[in-house]
Amino acid sequence: MPAPTIVDQTVTTECGQLFKTISKHRNGLIGNISRWTIAISDEYNCFKNALAYTGKRVNQYDSLELCWGIHTSYGSLSKLGENNNSTNIKFAKFTKHSNNREWHGYPADYQYNPQDVPETSFLKKLKEENYLTKAKLNKIIQGKSCNL
């Protein structure tokens, strides 16, 4: 299935999941909401890869299904979004809401939002694939800044 081409469009993935890109994570920054800086098609590909890479999990905070994603370029993590301080964000969090069964995602700002610290199992996969060092993995788990 093709990627969404406009904001707030819902599409069905090849595996039958509904995906929607959300305007509040695209149009400027409102409060502490992070925003995507990559193209909508890259957001969609990040989601599809996240489903394949991490599988669906149940979030310990709110019981929503979730998965984690990254955007890469030339074998390293790339910026996929930013926060209202223009800090680069390199992890994405995708959640599936039970009321409409749609997935949507946003750049996960782990330094400012404890619920956006990626799961340890996801970070360990990134370490195994040489995207992270052990020191960076530990800093991210603690919500500390590190040069990704």
10-residue mean pLDDT series, the chain (148 residues): 76 87 80 89 93 66 78 93 90 87 92 92 93 96 90
**pLDDT given at position 15:** 82
Specify the pLDDT at position 60.
52
The bridge status of strand 102-107 relative to strand 18-20 is: parallel
Residue 102 domain flag: yes
Distance CA 12, CA 17 (A): 5
Residue 72 dihedral angles phi and psi, to the nearest 5°: -120, 155
Please tell me the distance from the alpha carbon of residue 32 to that of residue 69, in angstroms, as a whole number. 20
Is residue 122 situated within a structural domain? no
Please count the structural domains in the chain: 1
Q: What is the pLDDT of residue 59?
A: 55
Q: Answer yes or no: is 137 within a domain.
A: no
Burial class of residue 106 (count of CB atoms within 10 Å of its CB; 0-12, 13-18, 19+): buried
pTM of the model: 0.89
Q: Looking at the domain assignment, is residue 132 inside a domain? A: no
For the chain, the first-to-last Cα distance in angstroms comes to 32
Residue 80 lies in a domain: yes
